[in-house]
Chain A
Amino acid sequence: MATRKVRYKKLSVKTPLTVLREDQIDPTEYESLTNEGQISTGVDHAEENEYHLQAVLQGAGVAADKEIPVPPPEESTLNFDHLYRQKFSKTSTYIRFSQTVEECIGCMYDMTEEDDVFLKSYNQKRPASTQLSEDDFERVMEVFEDTAYIRTPFASVDQTIVSYDEMFQGLQELDAAKVMPHAKQVYEYWKTRRQALGNRPLHPTLKFELHQESDEQDPFVCFRRREVRQTRKTRARDVQSADKLKRLRKELEEGRQLILAAHGRELLKLEMLKTDRAIYDQRAVLKDHKIRLGIKTDDEDLVNQKPQKRKAPEAPAVQRPPPPAQLRLPVRPDGRTAEADLAQLSDRLAEKENELRADIAKKVQNHSEWNKGHVDLTRGPLSPVRGPRLDISFRPAKTQYLMTPPASASSGSLEEPMPMDLDEPEHAPPAFKFRGVAQDEQSMANPPAYRRRIGRLNRLWIDRRGLTSPPRDSSDALSDQWKYDQSSDDEEDVPIYEVDPFDTRALKFRASIPLPAWLLSRAHPATAPVGNRPSILPPPTLPQTITQLHSTQNQTTITPPPAPRTSPSMKTGP
């Protein structure tokens, strides 16, 4: 505000403000603190300074002692109970209502005092039985007014008055017996009234726009129609219509292709018929020759051979489409080819579907087989899933995913962490074979299997089976013993097992082995795979000393944030 002497820190709506009561602050101080700035009221400027408003506003805030005077309402002298006779019964539920005013007020014409005078004098001349009731009078007048409105919408300008004959049709819809004797006279009355009012509707109406120059300034013209708003051009709308056009184009293109294909098919059919005919002709010639030369064989070469004959009835039974090489379609005279084609296609799909299902079932079975005898050695072991349970937290589908390692770490899917960063593909020809460990006949017969799952706290688990594994940290006393357990299957490929690991000779030998590259890479994170996804970098060639110890069942835990120290064969990302 320009009038302020000291410029305060700007007050943001997010600033936390201390709330004090007036007695918690020095009163003299408070007086000086309150700013006297003019506050916008939202009232029109011309009216802001009106005497009564200012008087109340000066009274500061909520003072209710001063009021703005208004012309006071008065109690009506009309008989309310007579005018509003209908009783209202309260509903127990909230009212739901959608009828319009027009639907609720019946006859749209309400007779005026003038009409009343006319009707009374009109009825006086008649016996009671033939008098016109107020309701019927109104109905007749309504017909006149409505017809006039429809027939001569510009009556007030061109002064045409609808003739009685034209009214007749509308009157027919009323109770003719009661109304018709009076209609003509009422019409005359209506006509005089209309003329007296400059041929305007008898009921006073609101002034609507007539699209004339005078409309704009006329205060009585109200409720103008809004012109339809221009649809705003937005990118979303553009994209929408572009999509629609694309789809339309595609559909049209498909239709065109269909017709082209049908055309091609018919051409082929023609070709085939021609060929058939040629064959037939040739056979006829052959027959002639045979007769002429007196060769007597059976006429097998003159008709289509059996295999073809057999095929024809077979095709519908198996519902297989004919092999593409065969040009001859099983054309039946009744032309059911197209139908058969359709049926075959759906059958084909069903078959595929079945195959797929069988495949899945087989995989599920395999999977549960792999899981047989699974022993979890973690502290709080998770029991293996039994049976073909489709548990989302344990995703069997991932097994397959693991068996086909990705080409490289960077090409992995973006939304989930890469479970493993496997070897370069050059020495992993069969996709499902994990070449990071020693291969032998045994392991080929019992291929290694992996399973990835996500455990509590988003920990990533990889279960392996049929895989040699590095020794666990020997400091773990509890898990120590299994190292020396004999695995019955792999007994023969552990010849070094008997060697005392603390034998000086062995130690010496081991010390002479240079550190493998993968171990060195730990010191140089630059060589590690990109990204911080947990990844496993198995050594290209594992030292025998490490691979010698393994069990058929073991587990390695990979916890994404901290790198597990226990498994030297695995490595988390930098």
Chain B
Amino acid sequence: MGPKGGVGDAPVGSDTPRQKGKATPDTLKIGCIALVTKDGQPRRAEILSIRETKSGRQFYCNFDNFNKRLDEWVPVARIDFDQDVDWPSLEKEKPKDNKVKKASAAPKRAQPSKKAQKKVGKREQSVASEGQTPHPWTEFTENLAQAKAQGKAEDVEDKAVASLEIGGTPGVGPDEMELDEDETPAELAKKERTASFSREEEIEKLRTSGSMTQNPTEISRIRNISKVEFGKWVLFPWYFSPYPEVFSQEDRIFLCEFCLSYYGDLKSFSRHREKCTLQHPPGNEIYRDDFVSFFEIDGRRQRTWCRNLCLVSKMFLDHKTLYYDVDPFLFYVMTTRDDRGCHLIGYFSKEKESTDGYNVACILTLPQYQRKGYGRLLIQFSYELSKIEGKLGSPEKPLSDLGLLSYRQYWSENIVDLLLGYSERDEKCTIEGIASHLAMTTQDVEHTLQALKMQVYHKGEHKIVVPEKLRQQREKSKLKQKRLIDSERIQWKPPVFTASNRTWGW
């Protein structure tokens, strides 16, 4: 499949004809798609916001098929004005009747266009959160007024489109694509109608469990914090986080490394540092080795700290939602020790009671500690806790791209180790056996086996083949001697919650 083809990958551009034409820095407006240089190469990018700075006008660009964490403000110089620009086509007229027709004629094709459309609308919405654009405001409000004038009915339907996509995402089964094919227009319409409630449904779901959102309006906002001072590091946030609105205007914000309080100016931050006595996460240490410690923090008891933690992590997790409070979660925080205290490396949160059997809600290694094997430790720790609980666990979906890679690696390493043992002993194994040994769900085991092409159907029976490449890799990585969690050092009992805890919001 081509890098820009396919069904799911059209954040920019679509099959619907767009008006093309030359643009100038002054006429380029929100919703346009232009060629923008990214890492030395021209790439299609959608303009999501415009601002004026001392050095001139800047455009906030989302690059075609790049994760939103790579969105950035680009100066005029990086935009290629020699090429035609796709104008934000008459978005308001074509929408609905067009879509319905498409639905009847070629339901499958309808999807990308819907997506593109919805994206435009939603991004516009999110621009409201961008406080850094004093000038484009007028333009924006004009747009909005126009949108309103041009049809309330469209608004409703637009919502339906957005939710249609949501309706599809929870079932991440491989056959989901085919699903749409056999749908008659009537069915589709019906689906839309039922799906139009899914925003409420999702909020209801979040109210009772979970911390991840599938809702595009929740996730696709323009980054509001540009720079964060955090301990010895300066971090560049990847995504929007609902810090106080005024922080959007700050060049940088300051976070206390221990209590995670946030400050807009250096004076108040240093004043805070004079007074703050916290030197480790405010909870009980449940694991310690020479290298890291783990703390267990109850979201209800340490509401402020856990809220602060969530605000930090939201800057690096796209699908995390802070819609509801932190009460029903426990936070397992990994720290490294030095003479100043226990510094936050990463954490994972976990529902006190997960109806879906998740053992991890959100999981994050802070950027300054990434690619050092800490994520693996976090993942391993989450499974060690599941082993103590005697449950099989799985992380809450959707996973981020980085999350998927980390989990895949953890899963494949552990499964390969286990399988090599079986193969040496000439024993047979079952998926269930692997699952219970690693406290993983059987689906995760199966997915890993399939993803690594280890599961084959040979001579009338299912078999598992360990590819030579994997085996060599495993041996190589074993030589590197990675750090592991020593389960003997965990001092932890599964916390018990009473019915009244459950009833009264943990």
Contact = CB atoms under 8 A, between A and B. Distances in A.
A1 B466 CA distance: 23
Nearest to A49: B9
Contacts of B451: 39, 61
B190 interface: no
Contacts of A221: 242
B322 A25 contact: no
Interface stretch (B91-99, B138-146, B274-282): B274-282
Contact of A220 (B129, B216, B422): B129
A101 B3 contact: no
A53 B464 CA distance: 26
Interface in A264-281: none
Contacts of B105: none
A394 to B, nearest CB: 40
Given A22-B465, A46-B115, A88 B282 contact: no
A219 B129 contact: yes
Given A86-B277, A111-B271, A220-B129, A17 B464 contact: yes
Interface residues of B, number: 159
Contact of A100 (B286, B304, B430): B304
A410 B156 CA distance: 74
A513 interface: no
Most chain B CB atoms below 10 A, which of A47, A56, A113, A228: A47
B11 interface: yes
Interface in B87-139: 115, 125-126, 129
B282 A101 contact: yes
Given A41-B399, A50-B66, A68-B67, A207 B429 contact: no
B267 interface: yes
Contact of A101 (B214, B302, B432, B456): B302
Given A100-B301, A228-B504, A111 B278 contact: no
A100 B324 CA distance: 20
Contacts of B295: 95
A432 B9 CA distance: 91
Most chain B CB atoms below 10 A, which of A20, A111, A203: A20
A48 interface: yes
Interface in B7-23: 8-9, 11
Contact of A49 (B6, B323, B422, B461): B6
Interface stretch (A70-78, A494-502, A535-543, A560-568): A70-78
A224 B470 contact: no
Contacts of B70: 69, 71
Contacts of B78: none
Given A21-B468, A61-B452, A73-B367, A38 B337 contact: no
B430 A20 contact: no
A74 B129 CA distance: 26
Nearest to B368: A73
B478 interface: no
B83 interface: no
A40 interface: yes
A105 B277 contact: yes
A76 B266 CA distance: 13
Contacts of A20: 423, 463-466
B126 A219 contact: yes
Contacts of A112: 264-265, 267-268
B368 to A, nearest CB: 4
B466 A19 contact: yes
Contact of A47 (B125, B173, B218, B401): B401
Contacts of B214: 44
B427 interface: yes
- What's the dominant secondary structure at chain A's contact region? loop
A8 B473 CA distance: 31
- What's the dominant secondary structure at chain B's contact region? mixed
B115 A50 contact: no
A514 interface: no
Given A68-B401, A101-B282, A225-B325, A21 B457 contact: no
A138 B70 CA distance: 41
Interface residues of A, number: 104
Contacts of A42: 172, 395, 397-399, 404, 407, 447
A223 interface: yes
A295 interface: no
A224 B221 CA distance: 19
Interface string A51-84: 1110010001111000111111111111010011
A46 B69 contact: no
Contacts of A217: 125
B419 interface: yes
B283 to A, nearest CB: 6
A87 interface: yes
Contact of B340 (A30, A41, A84): A84
B227 to A, nearest CB: 9
Contacts of B395: 42
A13 B235 contact: no
Most chain B CB atoms below 10 A, which of A2, A21, A203: A21
A197 to B, nearest CB: 9
Contacts of A50: 9, 65-67, 401
A41 to B, nearest CB: 5
A328 to B, nearest CB: 56
Given A13-B430, A88-B279, A88-B340, A95 B284 contact: yes
B8 A46 contact: yes
A94 interface: yes
Interface in B401-420: 401-405, 407-409, 412-413, 419
Interface string B217-260: 01001000000011111111010101111110000000001010
B453 interface: yes
Interface in B160-192: 165, 168-169, 172-175, 178
Interface of A: 1-2, 8-9, 11, 13-25, 29-30, 33-35, 37-53, 56, 60-63, 67-78, 80, 83-88, 90, 94-102, 104-107, 110-113, 115-116, 134, 138, 203-207, 217, 219-229, 231
